[in-house]
Amino acid sequence: MTQHVVNVVMSGVFHAAILFLVAAGLQVVFGVQKIFNLACGSFYALGAYVGVSAVQAFTSAGGPPWLFVLPLAAAGLGVGAVGVIVERGLLRFVYDRDETFQLLLTFALVLMMEDAIRLTWGTAPRSTSALYLTYGQVRILGAIVPVYNLIVIGASLAIALGIGWLLTRTVFGRIIRATADNREMAEALGVNMGRVYAKVFTLGTALGTLGGALVIPATAAMSEMGIDLIVEAFAVVVIGGLGSMRGAFVGALVVGVLRSVAISVYPELEMLLIYLIVIAVLVLRPRGLFGGAAA
């Protein structure tokens, strides 16, 4: 019994670690730019496909399999640079437009990027599952847990701490918080809003693409995986609260563990259980667990 519970919880925490990276990118973009970026799921899928290609190229070139996590993470972070293109090429023209228009634009990005992924990599799933157990497995309270899962969980925690340090201990972090609180005042004090927005959106994109890359050894890359992720990211944001990084962390844990429990007990309840929690939060605390009044 204990072994089963540990397996379920560790599986949920692993999924939560991936989900947090995407939700954190979503939160930082919304907090500063006030845009709810539906394209976060597409960036996640893009990171997955680029991660697969990078690992396959690395192993084909004779790279040692135990180092596959390095090109995987590098590819996930590197492809995040597409955020600069999207922000400078499209989003900067709609910051002052109605929120509905912004949502439609980011949803259009989802459709375009899904087609671009299919044209580039085809429709067949791609995977690096053969490398999933490269680092072996460990026993935790009788349950067998892949070491790779623990590496991803540790990396996600380190990134969470790094984001906290960035936002509270650096000049750029103070500029981000000032811009989020009062854009007009920050601009009046000489902050280059175009540069800040480009950096923030690229950071948010890189977190999403990194999440997509890191999940690949445990699952296959599929063109529609981004759509599924958007639904869960919505749930995380609603539960945790718009614009709250702490909310993204807690919301990801709630969604990840609940999803794992539902799959192990009654798979048909997987999404229903999450939506019930979302509805309860919307009714009892519309701002989310850690959202501010403005959200």
pLDDT tens sequence across 56-69:
999 999 889 889 99
Predicted local distance difference test score (pLDDT) of residue 69: 93
What is the 3 state secondary structure string of 144-167? EEEHHHHHHHHHHHHHHHHHHHHH
Domain hosting 230: range is: 2-169+197-284
Highest mean pLDDT among 23-32, 163-172, 207-216, 225-234: 207-216
Residue 105 tokens, joined: 């634009």
CB 188 within 8 A of CB 62: no
pLDDT band, very low/low/confident/very high, at 99 (cuts 50, 70, 90): confident
Give strand pairing partners of 145.
Answer: 138
pLDDT band, very low/low/confident/very high, at 295 (cuts 50, 70, 90): very low
Predicted local distance difference test score (pLDDT) of residue 77: 93
Residue 168 tokens, joined: 């509270």
The answer to whether residue 292 scores a pLDDT higher than 70 is: no
State the average pLDDT over residues 187-197.
86
Average of per-residue pLDDT values in the chain: 88
Q: How many independent structural domains does the chain possess?
A: 1
180 in any annotated domain: no
Highest mean pLDDT among 73-82, 171-180, 230-239: 73-82
pTM of the predicted model as reported, rounded to 2 decimal places? 0.91
188 in any annotated domain: no
239 in any annotated domain: yes
DSSP state, residue 217:
G
185 in any annotated domain: no
State the average pLDDT over residues 199-210.
93
Predicted local distance difference test score (pLDDT) of residue 152: 95
State the average pLDDT over residues 261-281.
84
278 in any annotated domain: yes
Percent of the chain's residues with pLDDT above 90: 36
The answer to whether residue 272 scores a pLDDT higher than 80 is: yes
188 burial level (CB within 10 Å; 0-12, 13-18, 19+): exposed
DSSP state, residue 126:
B
290 in any annotated domain: no
Predicted local distance difference test score (pLDDT) of residue 62: 87
Burial letters 116-143, b for 16+ CB under 10 A, else e: ebeeebeeeebbbeebbebbeeeeeeeb
Identify which of 182, 160, 167, 164 has the alpha carbon closest to the alpha carbon of residue 252.
Answer: 160
State the average pLDDT over residues 173-191.
85
Residue 147 tokens, joined: 């070491």
Distance set, CA 121 to CA 12, 110, 117, 129, 206 (Å):
29, 16, 6, 17, 20
Neighbours of 97 (CB within 10 A): 11
CB 16 within 8 A of CB 253: yes
State the average pLDDT over residues 264-282.
83
Tokens 């539960």 appear where? 239
Integer Cα distance of 267 and 135 in angstroms: 29
The answer to whether residue 293 scores a pLDDT higher than 80 is: no
Identify which of 146, 292, 259 has the alpha carbon closest to the alpha carbon of residue 251.
Answer: 259
107 in any annotated domain: yes
pLDDT band, very low/low/confident/very high, at 294 (cuts 50, 70, 90): very low
72 in any annotated domain: yes
- Residue 124 belongs to domain with CATH number: 1.10.3470
